[in-house]
Amino acid sequence: MKDFPGNESCHQPEAKTWVSRPQVPEPRPQAPDLYQEDMEFRTPSWPQPSDSQQCFSASAPLSPAARPRSPWGKLDPYDSSEDDKEYVGFATLPNQVHRKSVKKGFDFTLMVAGESGLGKSTLVNSLFLTDLYRDRKLLSAEERIMQTVEITKHAVDIEEKGVRLRLTIVDTPGFGDAVNNTECWKPVAEYIDQQFEQYFRDESGLNRKNIQDNRVHCCLYFISPFGHGLRPLDVEFMKALHQRVNIVPVLAKADTLTPPEVERKKRKIREEIERFGIKVYQFPDCDSDEDEDFKLQDQALKESIPFAVIGSNTVVEARGRRVRGRLYPWGIVEVENPGHCDFVKLRTMLVRTHMQDLKDVTRETHYENYRAQCIQSMTRLVVKERNRNKLTRESGTDFPIPAVPPGTDPETERLIREKDEELRRMQEMLHKIQRQMKETH
């Protein structure tokens, strides 16, 4: 068809039954930047990466919001709301010490002393919820009278919430049961000194990596409720041991006394302890920044000495609850009821609040006193030996001056020789320590 002017409309494309529309692809969501300049999320609705997928910028230090969550939770010193842009990391030292201590475990040695029948074994089982005397043989009255004081040890490993405690209970059966109790505390004092001596030898040796600590950290001394205050045996025992161990006096079998009688006996015992100059375990003073609740608890513990306690290995039902206690015709005495006895206070002091302080006082006070005495004795021995060698050289003879004067009776001579042998052994130990110090430096 020819084109004519004015007929341009005839050349329009024919109409179609469908309209072709360009297909525009849907816009893909762009991944937003995770962090703005202030390190905050730009798009809160965008799924946040998990802790293991956190993205960090190397151009700026991380704020607390951008740091990964610590497995220590609230114990993490960096897990705070403050924006610390510069930190070193030594604030995590307490966490490192905590991990190492938990991995190593803890040791604690507890001694119980007192005459038989005061509930020592029962109280220990109640304190640590264990049975340490499962295989013990009960002696008759005649056998207890003839029995001498001996030292027995019971060791058990206890674990609670991942914390291991190697508990050693030192018992003193036969103490105070004889007719003549003169110097019956000597085996106990000798045992404590032997543990100090063994620790001193291990500490002075070459291999000091795995030293076993068997030093007695605390002594629970049980006072009989059947009497007027302290007996002469109680006074002599505590005066003989208060320079060697932390003594915690305990008023046994408090369920045999009325509440007014308990208060009168406590007051009487405290007065006699002060009058005779007995040094029992002293609670450390609280710091000024301590919590008020802790201060009140510490004051209540101090006022409770001596602790009036009740022990029981049986579980009874009281007011629909099963509790550890004793059943009497007139009622039930609950061991863990603060209104009935001081068992909870004693357990709080011994385990929850002051166990580490008991160990610190043993190490820093009692053991250091023993160690100082040993070093002084060794020093005097060295001076004595030098003077003896000097006199031997000046005498011009090849025979050393005898340590035992002539004409001495055999018993005195034996004691002198034993003492001389002990001093010679301590001198060898001192020389050994000096050689180790020279090799170290």
Evaluate if residue 10 carries a pLDDT over 50.
no
Could you count the other beta carbons within 10 Å of the beta carbon of residue 349? 26
Residue in the block written with tokens 């605390």: 218
In the predicted structure, residue 56 carries a pLDDT above the cut 50:
no
Q: Enumerate residues 6+ apart whose C-beta is below 8 A from 156.
A: 128, 130, 132, 166, 167, 169
User: Exposure of 157 by Cβ count < 10 A (0-12 exposed, 13-18 middle, 19+ buried)?
Assistant: exposed
331 has pLDDT over 50: yes
Q: Whole-prediction pTM value? A: 0.66
Position 40 scores a pLDDT of 43
Residue 41 confidence (pLDDT):
41
pLDDT digits 0-9 by tens, 11-20: 444 544 454 4
Least confident of 61-65, 116-120, 261-265: 61-65
SS3 170: strand
Q: Which residue has the higher pLDDT, 45 or 331?
A: 331
- Please give the pLDDT value at position 216: 93
* Residue 160 pLDDT exceeds 50: yes
In order, the DSSP letters of 274-308 are HHTT---PPPPPPPTTS-HHHHHHHHHHHHTPSEE
Confidence at residue 131, expressed as pLDDT on a 0 to 100 scale: 72
Q: Which of 152 and 52 is assigned the larger pLDDT?
A: 152
Q: What are phi and psi of 222, to 5 degrees?
A: -90, 125
CATH for the 93-379 domain, from 3.20.20.70, 3.40.50.300, 3.40.190.10, 3.30.2010.10: 3.40.50.300
For residues 337 and 357, the model is more confident at 357
Q: What pLDDT, in 10s, does the model give residues 171-221?
A: 888 777 776 777 888 889 999 999 999 998 888 877 777 788 899 999 999
pLDDT-derived band at 34 (thresholds 50, 70, 90) equals very low
- How crowded is residue 379: how many other Cβ atoms within 10 Å of its Cβ? 13
Q: What percent of the chain is modeled with pLDDT above 90?
A: 18
| Average confidence score pLDDT of the chain | 75
Q: How many residues does the chain have?
A: 441
Per DSSP, helices labelled H in 28-150 are 93-104, 120-128, 141-146
Question: CA-to-CA distance for 168 and 187, rounded, in angstroms?
Answer: 18
pLDDT value of residue 54: 47
Check residue 339 and give its pLDDT: 86
